[in-house]
Amino acid sequence: MDKLPKIGIPLIIILIVVIILFAKSAVTIGSGEAGVLYRTFGGGVVIDEPPLGEGFHLVAPWNDVIVYEVRQQEIFEKLKVLSSNGLEIQIDASAWYQPEYNNLGRLHKEKSESYLQRVLQPAIRSAARSVVGRYTPEQLYSSKRDAIQEEIFKETSKIVENQYIQLNEILVRDVSLPPTIKDAIERKLKQEQESLEYEFRLVTAQKEAERQIIEAQGKADANRILSASLTDKILQDKGIEATTKLAESPNSKVIVIGSGDSGLPIILGNQ
């Protein structure tokens, strides 16, 4: 009986040590995450093996696991850049990005967990300054927003191409100009719109006038052709035909024949 406490205490100590070692060895990787293994006595960061995927893992207690989020993430940026004529423009943009899964070890080894601040943000700012500097405030405010968005994306992608970062999209959400410049641009755009509307009305009126001239010319040509074809013989035949129809009409009572050279009724003749 006296020996039980002496045997039980070491067992308890061993059990506690095992529990601590198991706790330090157990690693759970959450959804949308991956782990980079760091071997303390085996060369440091593991870069030649796939990262630890989602779920439960056991690693040596003297090693370490650095967990990264590998799903798509978003970062917001407020950038102050200069246009082609030196005016300060503020751009509100966001970027969709994620680390390259198979290169997660290299990303951690070369860029660390601060890769966003060390690589991606400087790349976006540099690309935005380069792209916006090619355009005037009028272009940025009106028709070129989609173009600068695409150009910033392409230039940023080139910068981070070999940095183990996957850039999915860059969205330009707003372009803010100084109030005086914005008002001047809006007035100019309004004047241009009114000018285009006035030119449209002029073109429409001109086309309508041309249509009426063509129509009048056609009628004049038709009348001229008709007048040239109406001989005295044709007119006399038409008169006889009309007189015959008048005589056959049930409403006719008396037909008066004129004594002119044509012999037509007074109502049709030139007397």
Q: What is the pLDDT of residue 192?
A: 65
Instruction: Note whether 78 and 35 are same-domain residues.
Output: no
Q: What is the pLDDT of residue 268?
A: 44
Q: Residue 144 sits in which domain range?
A: 73-177
Q: What is the pLDDT of residue 1?
A: 47
Q: Residue ranges of the alpha helices (H) in 26-144?
A: 104-110, 115, 121-132, 137-141
Instruction: Note whether 113 and 136 are same-domain residues.
Output: yes
Q: What is the pLDDT of residue 270?
A: 42
Instruction: Note whether 118 and 55 are same-domain residues.
Output: no
Structure tokens at 149: 């968005």
CB 27 within 8 A of CB 56: yes
Give φ, ψ of 36 to 5 degrees: -100, 125
Does the reported pTM lie above 0.85? Answer: no
In a domain, 56, yes or no: yes
Q: What is the pLDDT of residue 160?
A: 94
Q: Which residues pair with 57 in a beta bridge?
A: 27
Q: Which residues in the chain land under pLDDT 50?
A: 1, 4, 259, 268-271
Instruction: Note whether 81 and 138 are same-domain residues.
Output: yes
> Which residues, 6+ apart, have CB-to-CB distance to 72 below 8 Å?
96, 97, 98, 168
> Which residues, 6+ apart, have CB-to-CB distance to 243 below 8 Å?
255, 264, 265, 268
Instruction: Note whether 173 and 85 are same-domain residues.
Output: yes
Instruction: Note whether 64 and 93 are same-domain residues.
Output: no
Tally of domains in the chain: 3
DSSP code string of 168-206: EEEEEEEEE--HHHHHHHHHHHHHHHHHHHHHHHHHHHH
